[in-house]
Amino acid sequence: MRIAFVGTGVMGRSMAGHLLAAGHEVRVHTRTRAKAEPLLAAGARWAETSAAAADGADAALSMVGHPSDVDEVWRGPSGFLRVARPGQLLVDLTTSDPALARVLAAEAAAKGAEALDAPVSGGDRGAREATLSIMVGGSPAGFAQARPLLAVLGKTLVLQGGPGAGQLCKLANQVAVASGMVAVCEALAFARATGLDAAAVLESISGGAAGSWGLSNLAPRVLKGDFAPGFHVRHFTKDLGLALAAAQASGAELPGLRLAARLYAEVERAGDADLGTQVLARLYFSRLGA
């Protein structure tokens, strides 16, 4: 297939690479061309704009940062929808605003195209290993059309409902991740505060009832002092803001989410917005003087 891929950051680069390795013709565009150079060296073609990448493509995918970026890539002067045509598949893999996803789906449908919101979970490792969980909102026909491509990127593909449902599911995921990261960091901080060997504690609790993805994958990075981003704090705080807004609109009271959002806002104010979400542990450790 002829595929446009816009956004080649931490996760997008790996995802576009999988599509290229699967034999598809991939045209890429990103704000900073240098980030796309490994893909270009592997055979991808460069496009000067999102519209240029999508023009004539069978499918156009975006993996960018914020809802405003999604809006620009899709609806901007050089966006996907400027060149959308009947039968074309448009997929947003970004964690974004459910309301925006519904608008994009309606505008794509007006042009005869299928639009899906399909945010992913699994972090940089899931993107590299093509084991992502992909949560999809859109029509059953669009999902069927997208499934072969999404199967190249992830292992768990679930249609959650109509437009916007994929984004809502991802926000539920982020609610769980947020409270989970608070729990991981508090467990490590407790171990340090009580004089335990945190690595030994981690070995004991990771396989028991406390076990979680964060405990198994991010806590070891914390103990090594590795705060490199698998998922940036600045993107996570954006997600938590979207989740808080959706919770308020639905009348859901989520104190764990509110606590996590407050803590991550503090992390961002400390200047750590471009580090990984596991850097929250450093905030806890600083309060111990450790």
Q: Return the active site residues.
A: 170
3-state DSSP assignment of residue 259: helix
Q: What is the rounded distance in angstroms from the CA atom of residue 248 to the CA atom of residue 45?
A: 43
Per-residue tokens: 164: 């916007």
Q: What is the DSSP string of 139-203?
A: -HHHHHHHHHHHHHHEEEEEEEESTTHHHHHHHHHHHHHHHHHHHHHHHHHHHHHTT--HHHHHH
In the chain, % helix, strand, coil (3-state, to 5) comes to 55, 15, 30
Element (H, E) at 106: helix 98-110
**Dihedral in degrees, nearest 10, Cα atoms 39, 43, 49, 53:** -120
Q: Give the Å distances, CA to CA, from 193 to 60, 189, 196, 235.
A: 50, 6, 8, 30
Buried b (16+ CB within 10 A) or exposed e, 89-101: bbbbbbbbbbbbb
CA distances from 8 to 32, 40, 262, 272 (A): 9, 11, 30, 22
Q: Contact 24/1 with Cβ under 8 angstroms?
A: yes
135 three-state secondary structure:
strand
